[in-house]
Amino acid sequence: MNTRTRTNILIAMALIVAAYVVFSPTDAPTVDVAARNDQAASRVREPKADTRPPQSARLSLLSLAHRVNSAAEAGALFATHSWYVPPPPPPLPPPAATTESLTPPLPTAPPLPFAYMGTFTPDGAGPVFFLTAGDRVFDVRIGETLDNLYSVDGFSNGQLQLTYKPLNIKQQLTVGGGP
């Protein structure tokens, strides 16, 4: 060990001793075996102290006695509690079905699959309406049938009247101005 390390250790020990002297209690207990034996002997000879609580403590306990009147209420102090909440009742059933609600709705025609493209009126002949459905183009005249589903019935007020043949339901297609 070099001298510098020894010096540091001595300084640390000196600081510890100084701290003990400064911060130690001023009334250091002395060990006197004879005095201890005398104290033990005097304790044996002394009568036992009253182990009951003092009068003021008895009065405070009596003031609390009215809080629990029966053993049943005392047992409720540590009763178990449940945080379970029952689910809501099921919804009420719908009202009884009437004869009106039992009848099925009337069938309806599907929306028209055609879009108006234009009109051509040759000299001395009826107008020809050009309709599209998807990528197909139809040239129809009044009285013709489209795809065996729609018949062209007439034209008035900018509306082309068509009939959906399976259900015999009339529908109209707006075509703009008259021919």
> Each residue of 80-98: pLDDT tens digit?
778 899 999 999 888 776 6
> Each residue of 27-48: pLDDT tens digit?
545 555 555 556 655 555 555 5
User: Using CA atoms, how far apart are residues 112 and 4, in angstroms rounded to an integer?
Assistant: 107
User: Using CA atoms, how far apart are residues 148 and 32, in angstroms rounded to an integer?
Assistant: 128
Q: Please tell me the predicted confidence (pLDDT) of residue 172.
A: 93
Q: b/e string for 149-164 if b means 16 or more Cβ within 10 A?
A: ebbbeebeeeebebbb
User: CA angle 102-105-107, nearest 5°?
Assistant: 145
Mean pLDDT of 119-134: 89
* Mean per-residue pLDDT of the chain: 79
